A and B are shown apart, each in its own frame.
Chain A
């Protein structure tokens, strides 16, 4: 069934977009991430202008993270204090990111910047996750202790001042690294047009030692707020949010996310991390290949005024 998108100005197959939304939703529900880094390239692939894709995906991620956040809230798996502290850094980071975005756009190398940061970020994070997952898996095979979380060793982060008690996560931690992480995620999200959940979750686990019980829910709250903010920003400044496209993606996404979350609970933690690592790494490598191999066409045409 073809449907004409009012902002993207092209007809799309509704079932294709629904299926894409559901597939990405499944992945995001399974790993507790927004899935923007998968959705945006997919939309560009079906012919939607990059700028419209980025802007509309923001609201799609807002929807799926909200539905996720509600169910995590019911299970008391969100640490509200931690979320607020992360957000204080996150909003500052988003503002800084938007400023950088505008600056890079005026310099004319935004595309390259986005592509290289995708490559660097995704391959690094993906490789680290994959490696960590593999090690945990091998340890489990040998029959060793599976839990590598909270070894109890004091790292330098625990020596920082301004300590605060995050009751639900049962951690006692300085606010400085929390704000810094929030800032970094907000910045990356605004520049690259992604929610940043796939970076935030490992950071919270490995750097802040937030227990897995609250990490995904809390990360979803951060994603939700930054993506609602991003939707508003895109709508006001660029007028490029396609509400019809967003709605189709949302419906597919939230449905997929429910099944993804159920599937995720059946898979062991280390398998899950290994899979996510592989996925992130694969997307990163795909971007890297695109930069390195000779493009099929050396020329590109773009309407100016519409950025992407």
Chain B
């Protein structure tokens, strides 16, 4: 139902209603252009747009300038990063690190560099930037994130970035007016299916003043969904049908191309 709200820019109406209940000096009202991205046979990636506005009340200091950081995190999964080393003249995987329940897609957008927005301490606490996002690793018996320049962590982030699945853009958020902002959320074709959480944090004078979140999902529909669920839930039938399809194709070909 949220999709319908979004399409009609319902957040404007919502803002009017909710503005009457002040909790803090600033409030964030946001919406994504599409809350349900459907994967159809001709799907090849998409770009969503996030709109929002900063709502002020009587206690808000006048002429405050704001900074905004948007974090989009896709469904979480365990991933392993392996390192190759030369042993006996050939390159083989020797060392590996397991990353536990890390986002399969992760995007961080802001209106200016994180260093300009907040102090290193705040950046760390608020997980601003790929260097500060928590990526839990299993190191022996311990579970911990390591320093940003750890070889495995930086290789992991670099490889995910190469596929467009991890991204960090410090100029992606645009303030259309001092309080109205927008940013694009590019989704490459190979983005994982699932639920995506969008976290929006508002900063003023280097401190977090408001935050909110929203979500969207990427789902398979129709034929794609049918095939995927059948493969998972009825493996035997699916296998039989595929094998039968193979035999039929082979048989058809031998008829079509029959020489006599």
Q: Does B156 contact A (CB under 8 A)?
A: yes
Beta-carbon nearest neighbor of A256 in chain B: B253
Residues of A within 8 A of B241 (CB): 243
The residue that B44 contacts in the complex, of A11, A243, A291, with Cβ under 8 A, is: A11
The residue that B247 contacts in the complex, of A60, A66, A293, with Cβ under 8 A, is: A66
The residue that B227 contacts in the complex, of A2, A7, A112, with Cβ under 8 A, is: A7
How many residues of B are counted as interface, with CB atoms below 8 angstroms from the partner's CB atoms?
61
Q: Which of B42, B90, B241 has the most CB of A within 10 A?
A: B90
Q: A292-B89, A299-B83, A305-B77 are in contact. Are A250 and B249 (CB under 8 A)?
A: yes
Beta-carbon nearest neighbor of A112 in chain B: B92
Q: A297-B159, A301-B81, A302-B82 are in contact. Are A235 and B236 (CB under 8 A)?
A: yes
- A66 & B155 in contact (Cβ 8 Å cutoff): no
Q: Does A212 contact B (CB under 8 A)?
A: no
Per-residue 0/1 for B77-105: is the Cβ within 8 Å of any A Cβ (1 yes, 0 no)? Answer: 11111111110011111000010000010
A273-308 contacts to B, CB under 8 A, are 291-295, 297-305
- B235 & A3 in contact (Cβ 8 Å cutoff): no
The residue that A255 contacts in the complex, of B98, B156, B253, with Cβ under 8 A, is: B253
Q: Does A207 contact B (CB under 8 A)?
A: no
The residue that A236 contacts in the complex, of B78, B225, B239, B258, with Cβ under 8 A, is: B239
Q: Give the number of A-B contacts (CB < 8 Å).
A: 185
A1 to B39, CA, bound (A): 16
Q: A241-B231, A292-B90 are in contact. Are A234 and B239 (CB under 8 A)?
A: yes
A247 to B112, CA, bound (A): 49
How many residues of A are counted as interface, with CB atoms below 8 angstroms from the partner's CB atoms?
61
A150 to B132, CA, bound (A): 72
Residues of A within 8 A of B182 (CB): none
The residue that B254 contacts in the complex, of A71, A228, A247, with Cβ under 8 A, is: A71
Q: Does B4 contact A (CB under 8 A)?
A: no
- B192 & A250 in contact (Cβ 8 Å cutoff): no
- Min Cβ gap B243→A in Å is 5
Q: Summarize A's interface: helix, strand, loop or mixed.
A: helix
Per-residue 0/1 for B38-51: is the Cβ within 8 Å of any A Cβ (1 yes, 0 no)? Answer: 01111111000000
Sample 30 A-B pairs with CB under 8 A, ordered by A number.
A4-B41, A6-B220, A6-B223, A10-B190, A11-B189, A47-B190, A63-B246, A63-B250, A67-B254, A68-B250, A70-B250, A71-B258, A232-B240, A236-B236, A239-B235, A241-B231, A241-B239, A241-B242, A250-B245, A254-B249, A257-B253, A291-B91, A299-B83, A299-B155, A300-B93, A301-B80, A301-B156, A302-B80, A303-B78, A304-B98
Instruction: Please list the residues of chain B having a beta carbon within 8 angstroms of any beta carbon in chain A.
Output: 39-45, 77-86, 89-93, 98, 104, 152, 155-156, 158-160, 189-190, 192-193, 220, 223-225, 227-228, 231-232, 235-236, 238-243, 245-247, 249-254, 257-258
The 6 A-B residue pairs whose C-beta atoms are closest, nearest first, are A235-B239, A66-B250, A254-B253, A299-B155, A67-B250, A63-B246
Instruction: Please list the residues of chain A having a beta carbon within 8 angstroms of any beta carbon in chain B.
Output: 2-4, 6-7, 9-11, 47, 59-60, 62-71, 109, 111-112, 116, 227-228, 231-237, 239-241, 243-244, 246-247, 250-251, 254-255, 257-258, 291-295, 297-305
Q: A236-B239, A254-B253 are in contact. List 17 more A-B contacts (CB 8 A).
A: A6-B224, A9-B193, A11-B44, A11-B45, A63-B253, A65-B250, A67-B249, A67-B251, A228-B247, A231-B242, A250-B245, A254-B250, A291-B91, A291-B92, A302-B82, A304-B77, A305-B77
